[in-house]
Amino acid sequence: MRRLDPTRDVSDDDLWTILEAANKGPSGSNRQQLRWVVVRDPERKRRLGELYREVWETYQSAVPGGAYEDPQVTRNMASAEHLAHHLHEAPVILVACARGRRNVEAGVYPGIQNLMLAARALGLGTTLTTMHRGREQEVKALLGIPDDVDTFAMIPVGYPLGRWGEAPRRPVEESVSWEQWGWTRPREATEPGGDT
């Protein structure tokens, strides 16, 4: 959900709820490396938005004209463009961070997923973006993040604007191989060992 209502605040109670859900995410060896920076300050959000937009514009300038022929991709890109110009308006921007360079992602992204699911359950919209990493040093300087800590995602949080449905997905049968890459099969009507 990249289109968020800038006029509706997100309560601290709801933030604590979704951050608590993130904290309960899986963590290799229970190292619990995931840390968060919560950004509500309008000036910091404005500057994060500028940095994000600069990376977006560089990315967009590298995309050849007419590259988005698929209507779904065109819609997604329009939504991403909206975020690039309105990120700073999100009531809250969360920055997911962790210290350490080896296998740390496995303890970061499950927590982010928990956070996003908890937000959805509360009626809050989120999106995971990593585009800010193109200007990560400036983001870290702005937020006082130490040199030995990396940022993994920026997540705007707010109440959604417009229609908020389930994202279209291909059938799971198209994403699953059985025993070996490329070996597919249709989904059975009953579970293995059940009556046919």
Q: What is the pLDDT of residues 5-51, one digit of tens each?
A: 788 899 999 999 999 999 999 887 777 889 999 999 999 999 999 99
Q: Which of 44-58, 71-85, 95-109, 143-157 bottoms out in mean pLDDT, i.e. has the lowest?
A: 71-85
Taking the complete model, does pTM exceed 0.85, yes or no? no
Is the distance from CB of 109 to CB of 152 less than 8 angstroms? yes
Digit-coded pLDDT (tens) for 123-164: 999 999 998 888 899 999 999 999 999 999 999 999 988 776
Domain residue limits, the chain: 12-174
- What pLDDT is stored for residue 196 in this prediction? 41
Under CATH, which architecture does the 12-174 domain have?
A: 3-Layer(aba) Sandwich (3.40)
- Flag whether pLDDT at 121 surpasses 60: yes
Contacts 24+ apart (CB under 8 A), 113-120: 113/25, 114/21, 114/22, 114/24, 114/25, 115/18, 115/19, 115/21, 115/22, 115/25, 115/155, 116/155, 117/21, 118/17, 118/18, 118/20, 118/21, 118/22, 119/14, 119/18, 119/157
Average predicted confidence (pLDDT) for the chain: 84
Quick one: pLDDT band at residue 187, thresholds 50, 70, 90? confident
